[in-house]
Structure 1
Amino acid sequence: MQLFALGINHHSAPLNLRERVAFQADVQAEALASLMRAKLVREAAILSTCNRTELYCATERPEAIADWLAEWHRIELPQLAPHLFTLPKDQAVRHVFRVASGLDSMVLGEAQILGQMKQAARLADEAGALGALLHKLFQKSFSVAKEVRSTTAIGANVVSMAAAAVRLAERIFESVDSQRVLFIGAGEMVELCAAHFAGAKPRQITIANRTLTRAEALAARFGGQAVGLEKVPEILHQHDIVVSCTASPLPIIGLGMVESALKARRRRPMVMVDLAVPRDIETEVASLDDVFIYTVDDLAQIVQAGIESRQQAVVQAEAIISDEVSDFLHWIEARDAVPAIRALRGHAEDLRRAELERALQRLARGEDAQEVLEALSHGLTNKLLHGPTQYLNRPDHAEAGDGADLIRRIFNIGRR
Structure 2
Amino acid sequence: MAVWALGLNHTTAPLDLRGRFAFALDQLAPTLHSLRSSFGAQRHPDVEAAIISTCNRTEIYCAANNAALEHTVGWLAESGGVSPSLLRSHAYTLENDQAARHAFRVASGLDSMVLGEAQILGQMKDAVRAAESAGSLGSTLNQLFQRSFAVAKEVRTATEIGAHSISMAAASVRLASQLFEDLKQTRVLFVGAGEMIDLAATHFAARSPKAMVIANRTLERGEKLASRFGGEAMRLADLPARLAEFDIVVSCTASTLPLIGLGAVERALKQRKHRPMFMVDLAVPRDIEPEVRALSDVYLYTVDDLAQVVQQGQAQRQAAVAQAEVIIDAGVQSFMHWLGQRGTVPLIQQLNAQTDAWRSAELARAKKLLAKGEDLDTVLEALSRGLTQKMLHGAMAELHAGDAASREQTAQTIARLFLRKER
**1:333 corresponding residue in structure 2:** 340
User: Which residue pairs with 1:63 in the alignment?
Assistant: 70
Name the structure 2 match of 1:43.
Answer: 48
- Looking at structure 2, the residues matched to 406 and 268 of structure 1 have their Cα atoms a distance apart, in angstroms, of 83
User: Which residue in the other structure is 1:9 paired with?
Assistant: 9
Deviation per CA, 1:293-312: give whole Å up to 9, x if none: 11111222012444234222
Distance, in Å, in 1 between the alignment partners of 2:208 and 2:353 is 71
Cross-structure match for 2:28: 28
Which residue is 1:53 aligned to?
A: 58
Q: Secondary structure at the match of 1:56?
A: strand
Question: Who is 2:212 aligned against?
Answer: 205
Change (3 A) 1:304 1:5: closer
Question: Which ranges in structure 2 are unaligned for 5 or more consecutive residues?
Answer: none
Distance (whole Å) between structure 2 residues aligned to residue 233 and residue 411 of structure 1? 80
RMSD: 2.9
Kept after mapping to 2: 8 A contact 1:207/1:224: yes
Q: How many residues align?
A: 416
- Offset of 1:64 from its aligned partner? 1.5
Shift of 1:274: 0.4
Give the letter for the 1:338 counterpart: V
Cα 1:321–1:175 change in 2 (3 A) is farther
Q: 1:361 to 1:238 in 2, by over 3 A?
A: closer
CA separation in 2, counterparts of 1:277 and 1:342?
Answer: 47
Aligned residue for 1:208, secondary structure, equals: strand
Q: Helix, strand or coil for the counterpart of 1:108?
A: coil
Aligned mates of 1:404, 1:167 — CA distance in 2: 73
Match of 2:82 among 70, 75, 89: 75
Task: Provide the rounded CA distance (Å) in 2 between the counterparts of 1:273 and 1:349.
Answer: 66
What percent of counterpart residues are identical? 57
Letter in 2 for 1:49: T
What SS does the aligned partner of 1:334 have? helix
Q: Using a 3 Å threshold, how does the CA distance of structure 1 residues 107 and 368 change in structure 2: closer, same or farther?
A: same
How far apart, in 2, do the equivalents of 1:272 and 1:347 lie? 69
2:113 touches 2:311 (CA, 8 Å); kept in 1? no
Superposed counterparts of 1:279-318, under 5 Å = 279-318=286-325
**What is the distance in 2 between the residues matched to 1:375 and 1:12?**
70
Matched position secondary structure for 2:301: strand
* CA distance in structure 1 between the partners assigned to 2:118 and 2:49 by the alignment: 23
CA distance in 2, matches of 1:46, 1:366: 66
Judge conservation of contact 1:184–1:246 (CA < 8 Å) in 2: yes
Gaps of 5+ in 1: none
Mean Cα deviation higher: 90-99 or 174-183? 174-183
- 1:252 Cα deviation after fit: 0.9
Using the TM superposition, give the Cα deviation of residue 66 of structure 1 relative to its aligned residue in structure 2, in angstroms: 1.7
Match of 1:19 in 2: 19
1:12·1:83 contact (CA, 8 Å) conserved in 2? Answer: yes
Report the secondary structure of 2:176's partner residue: helix
Superposed CA offset, 1:264-317 (max 9, x none) = 333322221100010001111111222221111122201244423422221222
Secondary structure class of the residue paired with 2:185: coil
- Checking the alignment, whether the CA contact within 8 Å between 1:184 and 1:245 is kept in structure 2 is yes
Give the CA deviation at 1:84.
Answer: 2.5
SS at match of 1:121: helix
Which of residues 384, 387, 390 in structure 1 aligns to 2:391?
384
Mark the CA change 1:266 to 1:369 in structure 2 (over 3 Å): closer, same or farther.
closer
Does residue 179 (structure 1) correspond to residue 183 (structure 2)? The answer is: no
Alpha-carbon distance between aligned partners in 1 of 2:217 and 2:363, rounded to the nearest angstrom = 76
Secondary structure in structure 2 of the residue aligned to 1:297: coil
**CA separation of 1:225 and 1:372: change in aligned 2, threshold 3 A:** closer
Q: 1:318 to 1:369 in 2, by over 3 A?
A: same
What does residue 145 of structure 2 align with? 138
- 1:411: Cα distance to partner? 4.3
Residue number in structure 2 paired with 1:268: 275
Does the 8 Å CA contact 1:153/1:309 hold for their aligned counterparts? no
* 1:81-131, Cα deviation, whole Å (9 max, x unpaired): 222222112222221121111111111111111111111112112222222
Does the C-alpha gap of structure 1 residues 366 and 233 become closer, same or farther in structure 2, counting only changes over 3 Å? closer
Could you tell me which amino acid in structure 2 is paired with residue 285 of structure 1? V
Task: Provide the C-alpha distance between the structure 2 equivalents of 1:237 and 1:245, rounded to a whole number of angstroms.
Answer: 19
Q: 2:259 aligns to what SS in structure 1? A: coil
* 3-state secondary structure, aligned to 1:22: coil
Distance 1:404 1:171, change over 3 A: farther
Q: Does residue 1:161 correspond to 2:178, yes or no?
A: no
Quote how far apart the aligned CAs of 1:394 are.
5.7
| Distance across 2 between alignment mates of 1:273 and 1:105 | 19
Cα deviation code 1:192-243 (max 9, x no counterpart): 1000111122222121112222222222211222221122222222222111
Provide the C-alpha distance between the structure 1 equivalents of 2:254 and 2:404, rounded to a whole number of angstroms: 65
- State the alpha-carbon separation in 2 of the partners of residues 213 and 154 from structure 1: 37
| Aligned counterpart in structure 1 of residue 112 of structure 2, from 102, 105, 108 | 105
Q: Evaluate the alpha carbon distance shift between residue 415 and residue 81 of structure 1 in structure 2; reply closer, same or farther with a 3 A threshold.
A: farther
